[in-house]
Amino acid sequence: MGNDAETMTPKVAAVYVASFAVIAWSLTLVPSSWLEALTAQYSSATFTALGHSSSWGVQGGRSFLTLVGEMGPVTVTIIRECTAINVYSVILGLVLPLDGGTVARKLTSVVLSGALLFAMNVSRIMLTVYLTGFSTPPFSWFFTDPTVELYHYPISFAYGVIGVALLILILNKYTLPELGDTLVAIPLNLRRLPEYVKNICEDRPNKPDA
C-alpha cells in the first residue's frame, strides 16, 4: 500500500498517528545525561578549535559549558531539553511507522537525522553562548548587558521551526520520499476517520437479541 493521499486509508492514518505517539513517548524514558555531557563536550571543543577559551565538565550530575568572552565567562547548564532528544523522538516517530520505504532507507534516515540534529543543536548552543559573551553587532547596538535567556528563546524558536522543517525536507528529498506523501495524507485521512468508523458500524450485521 502506498502512503500518498490517494491510497492511504483513515485506518492506516490512525495507526500511523498512534505509532508516532508511542515512539515519541518512549524516548522520554531514555536517560539523557550521556547526551548532555556529549553536547557540552563538542560545543567546548568547537569553541576551542575556533580559538576561544572554553571548558566543560559535569558537576552534581549536571553538565555545563563555559566560554570566556570579552564580557567575562559565560556558563550554561546543559539539561535534557538542550540536547534535541525531544526533537529526535518526533523524527523517529515520523520515520519508523511509515508504511512505505525500505528498512535500509529508514535506518539511513534515522542515522542522518540524528547526526544533523546533533550538529544543529551544538551550533544553536554555541551561537547563544557566543552572542552572550561577545559584543556582536547589530545585537550589541540594542543590548548592552545581554543574558543567555535574551538570546536563548528566539534562537531556539528559529532553530526549532526552520531547522526541523529543513531536516524533514532533506529526508524527503534524499532518503525517504514517502515521508512527504505521508505528512500530506495524514490530515486528509484523519478528517475522514469519523465517516470511516460510521460506515463500518453501519455495515456490521445486526446481532439477534439474546
Q: Tell me: the pLDDT tens digits for 10-68?
A: 888 889 999 999 999 998 899 999 999 999 999 999 999 999 999 999 999 999 999 99
Give me the sheet containing 62-69, strands edge to edge: 53-59, 62-69, 72-78
Q: Let me know if residue 140 belongs to a domain.
A: yes
Predicted confidence at residue 141, as pLDDT, reads 64
79 within a domain of the structure (yes/no): yes
Asked, for residue 2, whether it belongs to a domain, the answer is no
172 found inside a domain: yes
pLDDT in tens, 90-101: 999 999 999 878
Is 189 inside a domain boundary?
Answer: yes
For residue 164, give its domain range: 10-201
Tally of domains in the chain:
1
SS3 28: helix
Tell me the C-alpha distance between 47 and 41, whole Å: 10
Residue-wise pLDDT for 7-25, tens only, equals 778 888 889 999 999 999 9
State residue 49's pLDDT score. Answer: 97
More confident residue, 125 or 1: 125
